[in-house]
Structure 1
Amino acid sequence: MITLFNIWHYLVIFMLLPVLVGGVFLALKDENSKYRVEIIVSFFLVFLFLSGIGIYAVDKNTKVAKLYRLENKRNLNTEKIMFSGVVRNEGNYEIGEVILEIKIENTTSNAANVDRGSYFVPSGFLYSFLGFGSKDDKPSRIEEKFTVAENLKPGETKDFIIYIDYPPHFQGFASSSAIYAH
């Protein structure tokens, strides 16, 4: 995962650094404590936890990517689905990596009579570890992630084209997408 730090990331870390330094100083200053190492480790873990939450919050609020003109076309010659579109950095800071998640679901000819929850997705403990199910089980939903842009500057756009193999057991498909900026 590529992530670029900006001034807000460093500000969060430098605001939490006195908590770590103060905790270590207090632990070392107490000469009678037999739990000195445990106290230092505890302050370090608190520092890591709060820094992680702070960095995640800063990422969510400063790195904003939008997806425009997402289109899909099925190529019958290669049996692939082509997704094309444009991604744009809407924020004020550079984005290290933009990830596009595509979900494809099988649609049947009588889609109106099928409940959305009845699609089969082979997962879980019994399928993974105990070998239940067969190789003939065909998933009704496929999820894939693609990196569509890297080092995207503020206001910059980038075109992308990605290909997904069309599952031969699908009668038709419906797709949905989500975009993540890191």
Structure 2
Amino acid sequence: MIHLTIVHWLVLIFFLALFILLVVISKKETRRNVFWSMVFASFLVTTTAAVFSMFVLDKYTKKGKLLAIENHRILRSEEIVFKGRVQNVGKFEIGECRLTIKMINNPVESGKLSGSQIYQPSGFGDFFKSRKENKSRPNTVKREFIVAKYLEPNEVRPFTVRMHYPPYFSKTRLIYKLHCH
């Protein structure tokens, strides 16, 4: 669910007033079918504009920042632990921050690309294999974690998350993406 600020409420009130104004203007139409068509069109336009406005406002009013993140592997349980801090750098309260961690196994360097890494032959028999056999060793692992809820402006909150680390990964590249709303 979206966490609404005072700006969100003002925009919703604006679009509600616009819808009411359009309905009042369409009351001048004497034909009943045209009147209801105009009301329906007004509803669609104002609702669509309000929804897009909510997403745009959410993007620009709720800003989170990943301050520090470090990781270490636990070999016994084949896990990787991420510790860090997230800060609300905006002027409004944030409802929830999600951290997406993407691990890529041995990313290819541009000069060291071989043919077997680009093309892997397949045949007619591949259609009959189960999906588990085809994806037994994925080279990309992506997980999403909720790292903070209800962050006040300028508040910093620490977090710790764990995820499985595939034992066949080597020279792993980690990509972090923080999304707050």
What is aligned with 1:60?
59
- Could you say if the C-alpha distance between residues 20 and 28 of structure 1 is closer, same or farther in structure 2, counting changes exceeding 3 Å? same
Kindly provide the amino acid, as one letter, of the partner of residue 100 in structure 2. Answer: E
SS, match of residue 33 in structure 2: coil
The unaligned stretches of length 5 or more in structure 1 are: 121-126
SS, match of residue 170 in structure 1: coil
* 1:113-124 to 2 correspondences below 5 Å: 113-114=112-113, 118=117
- Could you say if the C-alpha distance between residues 12 and 132 of structure 1 is closer, same or farther in structure 2, counting changes exceeding 3 Å? farther
Query: Of the two, which has the highest radius of gyration?
Result: 2
Kindly provide the amino acid, as one letter, of the partner of residue 140 in structure 2. Answer: R
SS, match of residue 92 in structure 2: coil
CA RMSD of aligned residues (A): 2.5
Give me the whole-angstrom Cα distance separating, in 2, the residues matched to 1:31 and 1:152: 53
Kindly provide the amino acid, as one letter, of the partner of residue 159 in structure 2. Answer: F
SS, match of residue 50 in structure 2: helix
Give me the whole-angstrom Cα distance separating, in 2, the residues matched to 1:42 and 1:131: 50
TM-score, normalising length: structure 2: 0.83
What is aligned with 1:18?
17
The unaligned stretches of length 5 or more in structure 2 are: 120-125
Would you say how many aligned residue pairs link Structure 1 and Structure 2? Answer: 170
- Could you say if the C-alpha distance between residues 38 and 119 of structure 1 is closer, same or farther in structure 2, counting changes exceeding 3 Å? farther
More helix, by proportion: 2
* 1:141-152 to 2 correspondences below 5 Å: 141-152=140-151
What is aligned with 1:107?
106
Give me the whole-angstrom Cα distance separating, in 2, the residues matched to 1:164 and 1:48: 40
Kindly provide the amino acid, as one letter, of the partner of residue 146 in structure 1. Answer: F
Give me the whole-angstrom Cα distance separating, in 1, the residues matched to 2:52 and 2:18: 15
TM-score, normalising length: structure 1: 0.82
What is aligned with 1:123?
none
Q: CA deviation at 1:114?
A: 3.8
What is aligned with 2:132?
135
Q: CA deviation at 1:133?
A: 6.1
Q: CA deviation at 1:131?
A: 6.8
Q: Percent identity?
A: 29
- Could you say if the C-alpha distance between residues 119 and 87 of structure 1 is closer, same or farther in structure 2, counting changes exceeding 3 Å? farther
SS, match of residue 29 in structure 1: coil
